[in-house]
Amino acid sequence: MAEEPVTTENQEKPPEDPNKMDYELFHFLIKIMRTIFIGLFWMLSNIFLGLYLGFAEPEASTPGRMIFFYSWFGITLLAYLYYVRRAWRKKMSAP
């Protein structure tokens, strides 16, 4: 009554869950959400500074405040574009 040893070659793998999301797809969606969130946050903060506090309006602001605002606007725009370029630099593999 000797039993045959069970080998891994004869065993089948359990079926994968069809609802399981691919790891690369999940990171791709996270990258999209992060890019949109940071862009909207950047726009919201500049709208608050420029329009609500009046830093961008020539009638309601002094030249020093306008120079500060537009310098801030340009530097943060370049920083955001640099972030987007670095985040989207890597290409995904084709499905």
How many domains does the chain fold into?
Answer: 1
- Residue 35 forms part of a structural domain: no
- Residue 82 forms part of a structural domain: yes
Residue 5 predicted with pLDDT over 90: no
- Residue 66 forms part of a structural domain: yes
Mean pLDDT computed over 22-39:
91
Spatial CA neighbour of 39 closest among 91, 87, 5: 87
Residue 41 predicted with pLDDT over 90: yes
- Residue 84 forms part of a structural domain: yes
List, for residues 59-76, the tens digit of each pLDDT value. 988 999 999 999 999 999
pTM above 0.85, yes or no: no
3-state class (DSSP) for residue 82: helix
Residue 66 · residue 58 · CB < 8 Å: yes
